[in-house]
Amino acid sequence: MTTLEFTALIGFGSLLAGFLGALTGLGGGVVIVPMLTLLFGVDIRYAIGAALVSVIATSSGAAAAYVRDGYSNIRVGMFLEIATTIGALSGAALALYLRVSIIAIIFGVVLLYSAYASFRKESDVSKDERVDRIATWLRMDSAYPTANGLTSYHVRNVPLGFLIMYVAGVLSGLLGIGSGAVKVLAMDQAMKLPFKVSTTTSNFMIGVTAAASAGIYLSRGYIDPGLAMPVMLGVLAGSLLGARVLAGAQVKTLRIVFSSVIGILAIEMIYNGIAGKF
């Protein structure tokens, strides 16, 4: 395989990863790392470095469109970024001392639960009208556009969401995945945000989380420009395409896609973690 063919294949795979990442809030990194390591034989550390760059591209490409259209909750995202950034720095530092295969197995289990919890959820907007004091104090309650106009929602369980976001940040720093699945889990299940708000706010957040840990990987020499460039360009193009599709997508369909994809990736993570391939 020539260098041009190798670059083109990685670019195409990254485009698909970016499209999926923007559509579900997963972030392209959750597909990029398995793709580079299993299909192309790239060293896991360099795959993580390229994935972190791609996550930043995904966030930059999709988040602007989501903010403009009124889907992302900026106040929720900025507050929770405190937890994810601290977690990302912790995870990147721990990467030198912990076996990635063990973390991959743990992450796979978390993904399996995320798939199950997302798939079984029936209502898109929480009917719990109780006031959350922290959310009220921080003015997190908002509204998002639907076919029937703006629909308001209330934010719940802010401390629990903050804790889960720290875990998401640690996973991002360790595996370079952006941890979009865990972020969506925190906002959709714990904080009771509508699913489209959860996925779009996740896209808004993952770039900052990835940037926090990418600096550490860059200082260690694990970001190869020749590898990161086609990954970044492909993911950026895919994320812009995914942002256009999301507005007209059905929530039920998004949940099925979300659950199916992270379920498959969870099994892959667990298997490769046990087999010692990471």
Q: Report how far residue 198's alpha carbon sits from residue 201's, in angstroms, rounded to the nearest whole number.
A: 5
Tokens of residue 123, six digits: 């209502």
- Looking at residue 184, its pLDDT comes to 76
Query: What does the angle CA 258 – CA 264 – CA 268 come to, to the nearest 5 degrees?
Result: 140
Is 173:212 a contact under the CB 8 Å cutoff? yes
Percentage, residues of the chain above pLDDT 70:
78
Q: CA separation (Å) from 168 to 14, 91, 128, 178, 185?
A: 22, 9, 26, 8, 10
For the entire predicted model, the pTM comes to 0.69
Q: What is the pLDDT of residues 186-205, one digit of tens each?
A: 887 788 888 778 878 887 78
**Residues 75/138, Cβ–Cβ less than 8 Å:** yes
pLDDT higher than 90, residue 117: no
Q: pLDDT at position 169, please? A: 83
Contacts of 154 (CB under 8 A, 6+ apart): 126, 128, 129, 130, 131, 132, 135, 141, 192
- Average pLDDT in the 47-68 region? 76
Per-residue pLDDT reduced to its tens digit, 60-115: 666 777 777 788 888 898 899 899 889 888 887 787 677 767 767 877 787 787 67
pLDDT higher than 60, residue 127: no
* Dihedral over Cα of 122, 257, 15, 46: its sign: positive
If one counts every other C-beta atom within 10 angstroms of the C-beta of residue 147, the result is: 6
State the pLDDT confidence band at 162, using cuts at 50, 70 and 90. very high
Among residues 259, 232, 266, which one has the least CA distance to residue 30? 266
CA distance 47 to 41: 9
- Which H, E and C letters describe the chain, residue by residue? CCHHHHHHHHHHHHHHHHHHHHHHCCCCHHHHHHHHHHHCCCCHHHHHHHHHHHHHHHHHHHHHHHHHHCCCCHHHHHHHHHHHHHHHHHHHHHCCCCCHHHHHHHHHHHHHHHHHHHHHCCCCCCCCCCCCHHHHHCCCCEEEEECCEEEEECCCCHHHHHHHHHHHHHHHHHHCCCCHHHHHHHHHHHCCCCHHHHHHHHHHHHHHHHHHHHHHHHHCCCCCHHHHHHHHHHHHHHHHHHHHHHCCCCHHHHHHHHHHHHHHHHHHHHHHHHHCCC
Other C-beta atoms lying within 10 Å of the C-beta of residue 5? 9
| CA dist., res. 75 & res. 135, Å (int) | 10
Tokens of 159: 């401390």
Residue with tokens 């289990």: 109
- Answer yes or no: is pLDDT of 10 > 90: yes
**Residue numbers of the domain that contains 103:** 3-275
Query: What is the per-residue pLDDT for 215?
Result: 79
What's the mean pLDDT when you consider all of the chain?
78
**Count of the separate structural domains present in the chain:** 1
Q: Do 177 and 95 form a contact (C-beta atoms < 8 A)?
A: no
Average pLDDT over residues 211-218: 78
